[in-house]
Amino acid sequence: MAGAECARSGAHDGTTDRTAVPVKNTSAEDFSKFLWVFYDPYVPSTIAWFDDSIRSSTYMYDDAPSSAWRTILSLSSPGKWDFPKIHAFALKRLNNLFVPLVERIVLYKSCSVPFEHLLPLYAELCTREEALSLEESIGLGWELVVPILQVRECLLKWEGKGSITDNTLHNMRAAIEGVSSTWIQDRIKSMFNAVQDVSSLTTTRGHNCPQHHEIKVEFESVSKSLCSPVD
């Protein structure tokens, strides 16, 4: 945890201004937001913040903007200070607040939010009317953009009757009629796995290793199978 080594050394025991425990890699403002989760003045000190039996109206948390919860989610993430309960709590609060879809995906990815929470967001991105903009694509990165576009293109060719008949792109709303969310999410998972295999192998062994061609063929096979008939 931040400052723990300094505290153990005795040089910074936190009892005076001169021996304050330094908290690195964050600002005083953001650290204050993080501590606020523990010291919400609207909640009696004898009550745990994570007690679900308390009515949400008791909390000042309801008035906090999404920017505050973004900071708390980031600082409590496994890659930062690793506070699992606060991380889950901040995620729960953010899920009830408006955050643009692509911004939410980028935020959740950077804060190590579990894939199960990201999958419905990927499905929403695949099925929205608007195509990805250049700015959104850059923010997401190619490892996210490729599977999203693959599934999206397949859906846009869909006639809603279980087969692809030509290369004509249709209206998204009409295209997804009769296509279950499970079918869409399964295709997204397949594409993500294929992209990760290619990315991992390319990073560790380069483009010229023998396995690279095999995985490329497998990736192309997965891409073609995306548009198989709905079960």
Task: Read off the pLDDT of residues 170-185 as tens digits, 9 standing for 90 and up.
Answer: 678 777 777 888 888 9
Q: In angstroms, rounded to a whole number, what is the distance separating the alpha carbons of residues 122 and 144?
A: 9
**Shared domain check, 153 and 79:** no
Residue 38 lies in a domain: yes
**Shared domain check, 94 and 37:** yes
**39-43, 128-132, 138-142, 183-187, range with the lowest pLDDT:** 39-43
* pLDDT greater than 70 at residue 165: no
Last-in-domain residue among 73, 99, 125: 99
Residue 105 lies in a domain: no
**5-9, 78-82, 158-162, 175-179, range with the lowest pLDDT:** 5-9
Q: Which range marks the domain in which residue 9 is found?
A: 1-99
Residue 142 lies in a domain: yes
**Shared domain check, 57 and 136:** no
**Shared domain check, 91 and 11:** yes
* pLDDT greater than 50 at residue 162: no
- Contact between residue 101 and residue 125 where contact means Cβ atoms under 8 Å apart: yes
**Shared domain check, 228 and 124:** yes
- Contact between residue 152 and residue 136 where contact means Cβ atoms under 8 Å apart: no
**Shared domain check, 125 and 195:** yes
Q: Which residues contact 115 (CB under 8 A, 6 or more apart)?
A: none
Note the pLDDT of residue 59: 55
**Shared domain check, 120 and 204:** yes
- Contact between residue 191 and residue 143 where contact means Cβ atoms under 8 Å apart: no
**Shared domain check, 203 and 161:** yes
Note the pLDDT of residue 228: 54
Residue 107 lies in a domain: no
Number of domain units in the chain: 2
For range 173-200, the mean pLDDT = 79
